Structure 1
C-alpha cells in the first residue's frame, strides 16, 4: 500500500516538474533561437553576421545562456517522462530517457560552437578571415544540432507511442507527438544528408511545423494541469 502511494506521489511530482521544465524550455527556445539567433545570424552573409555578433555581444551571450537552460531542462524532462510513463512500459520509457540524454549530449556539443563563435567575435584581433571562421562555428552548431534532432525525434516517437497506449492522455496530444516525431526525423535527416533539397525541406517544415511545436509543448501543459491528478492505476494500456 505504502509502495503504491509512494509511486503515485513520484508520478505526481514528475508530472508537475516535467510540465514546468517543458514550458520553461519552450520559452527559452523561443528567445534563443526564434528571437536572438534568427535576428543576428544570416548564414548567407558572414560579414553582416560578424558585425551583428560584435554589436550585440551581450544579446548573443544571453542566447547561449538560453541554450544552457534548454540543456538542463532536457535532462529534467528525460527523468520526468521516465517516472511518469514507467507504468506503461518500463523498458521503452527507459530507452526513451536514454535517447533524450544522448540528444542532450549532442546539443551540448552544438552549444560549444556558439561559445567559440562568441569568443572569436568578441576578440581584440581582427583578420579578414575572422567572419568566415565565426560562420564556420555557427554552421557547425546547426549541423550538429540537426543530427541531435534526429535522435530527439526517435525519443519523441517512443513517447508518442506510449502516450497513445495510455488511457489517460488525450489522443490529440498523442497524435501530435507522433507527427512531431516524424517531422523532426524526416526534416533533419534531409538537412544532414541532402541539405541541397531546400524546397523539400521547406515543404516538410510547413507540414510538420505545428505538431513539432504543439506536440511536446501540449503534453507539457497537460502534465502541468492534469498529469499530477491522474491516478497510478489510470496510466495503463488503453
Structure 2
C-alpha cells in the first residue's frame, strides 16, 4: 500500500465514491422506493414478484456499493495517511465495519428474493404469511442498514476532521463532511431508538439532506479531479 501514490489513491477513491453514489441512486432511490410500500405487505409482494429482474438489479447494485465501500476505505486511508495516520486508520476501520453491517443487511434482501421466487418450497404456507415475511425482512434490511449508517457517520466525522487539517483539501468540503457526519448519526440514531418521532426525523432529513449528499459526493469529485496533484509552480 505504501507504494501507491497519493494521486492514484485519490483517483481510485473518487471513482469508487461516484460509482457508489450512482448505484445507490438506482438501488435505493429508484428500485427500492418504487417497489416497497411501507406497511402494505400485499402491494409490496405484488410489486416485487412482478418485477423480479428489477429487484435482482437492486441487489446487484447493493453488491457494487459494498465492494466500492471497501475500496474507498482502503484508498482513503492511503490518501489521508500523510495528514494523520492514526485517525485515517480509524476511519478506514469504521468504514469496513459499516460495510460488514451493510453486507448483513443485504442478506435480508436475498431472503426476500427467495420468498418471491421459491413457489414450490413455500407452497404449504399461506400467501398472506409469505407477504408478511417478505415485509418483515425488508424492514430488517432498513433497520440493519440504519444501524450501519450510524457507524458510517462516525467514519465521515473522522474523514472530515482529518480533511480539515489538510492545506490542500478545500475547507468547504471538510465542513460539509462534518455536517454530513452529524446528520447521519442524529438521523439514524433517531430511526433506531426514537421511531415514535417520525415528523422530527423527516425534518432532520430535510435539514441535513444537502450536506449529506454534497459532502461525500463533492469530496469524491474533488478527489477524482484534483486530489493528490502537486501544486503548480509559479
3-state SS of paired residue (1:196) = coil
Deviations 1:65-87 (CA, angstroms, capped at 9, x unpaired):
00000000000000111000001
Q: How does 1:72-151 map to 2 (within 5 A)?
A: 72-124=67-119, 125=123, 127=126, 128-151=128-151
Deviations 1:154-212 (CA, angstroms, capped at 9, x unpaired):
00000000111111011111111000000000000000001111011001000001111
Contact 1:168–1:230 (CA under 8 A) maintained in structure 2: no
Distance 1:230 1:72 in 2: 29
Q: How does 1:1-238 map to 2 (within 5 A)?
A: 10-124=5-119, 125=123, 127=126, 128-230=128-230
Distance 2:113 2:217 in 1: 30
3-state SS of paired residue (2:148) = helix
TM-score (normalised: structure 1): 0.92
Distance 2:130 2:183 in 1: 35
Deviations 1:46-101 (CA, angstroms, capped at 9, x unpaired):
10000001000110000000000000000000011100000111000000000000
Distance 1:196 1:62 in 2: 33
Structure 1: which 4+ aligned runs deviate by more than 4 Å? none
Distance 1:81 1:230 in 2: 18
Unaligned runs of 5+ in 1: 1-5, 232-238
Unaligned runs of 5+ in 2: none
Task: Tell me how large the CA RMSD over aligned residues is.
Answer: 1.1
